[in-house]
Amino acid sequence: MLFSTIGEIKQQDNDASLSVFEVDLSSFSSIKKFESGIKQWLLDSNLHPSIQLLINNAGILATSCRVTSDGYDQMMQTNFIGAFVLTNLLLPLLKFSPVPSKIVNVTSFTHRCISNTDLNEGTLGAKIFDCLPTSGSYPSARTYELSKFCLLLFSYELHRQLHLVDPSLNISVIAADPGVVETQIMREIPPIISELAFKALRIMRLLQSPESGVNSIIDAALAPSDASGEYFFGGRGRTVRSSKLSYNAQLGKNLWSRSMMLFEEVQRSFD
Ligand SMILES: NC(=O)c1ccc[n+]([C@@H]2O[C@H](COP(=O)([O-])OP(=O)(O)OC[C@H]3O[C@@H](n4cnc5c(N)ncnc54)[C@H](OP(=O)(O)O)[C@@H]3O)[C@@H](O)[C@H]2O)c1
Q: What is the pLDDT of residue 135?
A: 64
| Ligand 1 atom nearest to 25, measured from its CA | 32
**Ligand 1 centroid to residue 205 C-alpha, Å:** 22
**Ligand 1 centroid to residue 100 C-alpha, Å:** 26
Taking the CA atoms of 246, 85, 181 and 160 in sequence, report the sign of the dihedral they define. Answer: positive
Q: Is 181 in the pocket of ligand 1 (CB under 6 A)?
A: yes
Contact between 152 and 177 (Cβ < 8 Å): no
Asked if residue 123 is part of any domain, the answer here is yes
The span from the CA of 208 to the CA of 201, in Å, is 9
Q: Is 194 in the pocket of ligand 1 (CB under 6 A)?
A: no
How many residues comprise the chain? 271
**Ligand 1 centroid to residue 113 C-alpha, Å:** 20
User: Residue 84's CB: how many other CB atoms inside 10 A?
Assistant: 23
Taking the CA atoms of 220, 165, 52 and 78 in sequence, report the sign of the dihedral they define. Answer: negative
Q: What is the pLDDT of residue 130?
A: 81
Contact between 172 and 219 (Cβ < 8 Å): no
Cβ-count burial 90-122 (b if 16+ within 10 Å, e if not): bbebbeebeeebbbbbbbbbbbbbbeeeebeee
Asked if residue 187 is part of any domain, the answer here is no
Instruction: Specify the residue with its C-alpha closest to ligand 1, atom 6.
Output: 108
Q: Is 128 in the pocket of ligand 1 (CB under 6 A)?
A: no
Residue 56, helix vs strand vs coil: strand
Which of 74, 87, 183 should be mutated for ligand 1, with most atoms under 8 A from CB? 183
Asked if residue 113 is part of any domain, the answer here is yes
Burial grade of 188 (CB within 10 A; 0-12, 13-18, 19 or more): middle
Distances (CA, A) of 140 to 99, 146, 164, 271: 40, 10, 36, 35
Q: Is 26 in the pocket of ligand 1 (CB under 6 A)?
A: yes
Asked if residue 42 is part of any domain, the answer here is no
Question: Side chain identity at 85, as an amino acid letter?
Answer: V
Contact between 213 and 181 (Cβ < 8 Å): yes
Residues of the chain with confidence (pLDDT) below 50: none
**Ligand 1 centroid to residue 185 C-alpha, Å:** 6
**Ligand 1 centroid to residue 271 C-alpha, Å:** 31
CATH assignment of the domain containing 150:
3.40.50.720
Q: What is the pLDDT of residue 123?
A: 65
Asked if residue 161 is part of any domain, the answer here is yes
Asked if residue 75 is part of any domain, the answer here is yes
Asked if residue 34 is part of any domain, the answer here is no
- Number of separate domains in the chain: 1
**Ligand 1 centroid to residue 125 C-alpha, Å:** 24
Range of the domain at 103: 52-178+214-270
Q: What is the pLDDT of residue 134?
A: 56
| Ligand 1 atom nearest to 109, measured from its CA | 6
Instruction: Specify the residue with its C-alpha closest to ligand 1, atom 8.
Output: 108
| Ligand 1 atom nearest to 27, measured from its CA | 31
The strand order across the sheet containing 171-177 reads: 53-56, 101-106, 171-177, 231-233
Burial grade of 87 (CB within 10 A; 0-12, 13-18, 19 or more): buried
Residue 80, helix vs strand vs coil: helix
Q: What is the pLDDT of residue 126?
A: 73
Q: What is the pLDDT of residue 118?
A: 80
pTM for the model stands at 0.96
Asked if residue 234 is part of any domain, the answer here is yes
The span from the CA of 210 to the CA of 217, in Å, is 11
Contact between 179 and 109 (Cβ < 8 Å): yes
Q: What is the pLDDT of residue 179?
A: 96
Q: Is 105 in the pocket of ligand 1 (CB under 6 A)?
A: no
Which of 107, 181, 233 should be mutated for ligand 1, with most atoms under 8 A from CB? 181
The span from the CA of 39 to the CA of 9, in Å, is 22
The span from the CA of 147 to the CA of 83, in Å, is 11
Q: What is the pLDDT of residue 122?
A: 60
- H or E, element range at 213: helix 210-213
